[in-house]
A and B are shown apart, each in its own frame.
Chain A
């Protein structure tokens, strides 16, 4: 079995008096795609926000490769190799593909005090990455992201995470509002990411999409993890739906230790 990449232990998160995460224990292994499921308000988004540094935990511990880390800001998560691709908000529509790819880590031309971006280098890498994630259309890296389709935007975001060697890529509803062909494209990009050594947390309301791509399913309800080792190859969508809605815990999942 692959080693552990992320371990979250006894995580609690309070928003005022709301107990959004209640003693959550969650593990992501290396080269694994984990499907995180749950109804609205189950705590999925909060868990992802905690892991991506968007909000700090109230108590608990997070380990990366067995080493305890302090994730309080987005930059902390990025430094730990955790990249989050939020639904519809991963990219800046007005910026070009190349500038989006390198946003926050723009390469500079010498002399560096002039702060001048190395546009040629960014364009070159962007072209290569777009081919790597399977975009065969000849899309110039200088065009704004607003001109891309939803699937292409997800591809750009995933390509970015792969390029910067993020060990864990968190995809929040990556297939929302996408057509059939585009959804399949995104699922292909996710598998490509895993095959090249990355782990993913895949959140989607559409369980069919989750079943097509993940290695393991984790279910949350009322801020707790109620099943954390569901193998999609050995269960049915209906059974997982019963766990999500609380009609059945026992048959499928065991609460996390």
Chain B
């Protein structure tokens, strides 16, 4: 039976991360002490991380349990999804559309969204104008206002 404690799951994440890093490090050569290869450090760190993760898992069975708090999956996915969409749209649809998608997408995760979406339109317009003037025009960051889909 899996005990749902923070120690257990943190340990599990560490072991998984360490194992993945160790697997990928197999192709880097180890070298010798005076000419340590590029594989030495990654392997050492991955193994250490797995050991630390293992200790954390073992500990989870003995030490007083800190119950795992619930993961709020929906807001997390909405925020992350909006960011990814914004990254995808920036060069293609341009800054105006990409930032609108990010603002509204992210804002929809809030419970206040339904009541306040009209104010949000104003805020979005102001934010986009600010970004276009400060970042694109004044600082000269190479970002298209209108992306390649429309040009």
A, B co-complexed:
no
State the B residues within 8 Å of A (CB).
Answer: none
Q: Measuring CB to CB, which residues of chain A are less than 8 angstroms from any residue of chain B?
A: none
